[in-house]
Amino acid sequence: MSSKIETLRELVSCPREFHLYKNSPHPGQARTRAPDTFHDLHVSLDTTEGFVPHTVTEDTRRIFTPRDGAKVGKVDAVFFTNARIIEAIEKPLERGIIIKVCFQDRVTADIVLVTAHAFIPDTSHIPSAKDGWYILKCDMIAPGRFWNAIKARL
């Protein structure tokens, strides 16, 4: 097996939530992945951890489109306006809403996983094209149901 094989790992800091682990430290930014990355994923816990389905609207695309031509990792604004949304979940928190989305490029079929929130940003968060929203530069950490839904839809 290649050292590039990714597996899901449960986080110690967020039990019952998982992230893709690539046998090496993550750079912490959105990047494309081939759809076959998800075919062999196995999550035994079909957890939601307070997340509910997010109703996708044009605002969803604006939330995930970086403002002023910025990029999210290596992914530019054009990707987010043209990509298909495979899965979207949201969670209301005391300080605001957080949304997690799986995008798929309509041409290459590559996958990008991104999180955005509507609360006071960290200095590393990217301003969204929708006022009051910020895109996180981090790996996707999500409950089991999110990962299972992606796998089922690819």
H or E element at residue 7: strand 7-10
Looking at per-residue pLDDT, the higher value among 138 and 148 belongs to: 148
Q: List Cα–Cα distances, 31 to 42, 56, 59, 94, 114, in angstroms.
A: 21, 21, 22, 29, 9
H or E element at residue 126: strand 126-127
The span from the CA of 71 to the CA of 78, in Å, is 10
In the predicted structure, residue 26 carries a pLDDT above the cut 80: no
What is the edge-to-edge ordering of all strands in the sheet holding 141-143? Answer: 7-10, 17-21, 141-143
| SS3 at position 38 | helix
Looking at per-residue pLDDT, the higher value among 76 and 55 belongs to: 55
Q: List Cα–Cα distances, 80 to 35, 57, 69, in angstroms.
A: 17, 13, 12
Q: 97 exposed, middle or buried (CB, 10 Å; 0-12, 13-18, 19+)?
A: middle
pLDDT digits (tens, 9 = 90+) for 92-119: 999 899 999 999 999 988 888 899 999 8
Tell me how crowded residue 33 is: count the other CB atoms within 10 A of its CB: 16
Looking at per-residue pLDDT, the higher value among 109 and 42 belongs to: 109
H or E element at residue 142: strand 141-143
Percent of the chain scoring above 70 in pLDDT: 77
Q: List Cα–Cα distances, 113 to 1, 94, 149, in angstroms.
A: 24, 24, 13
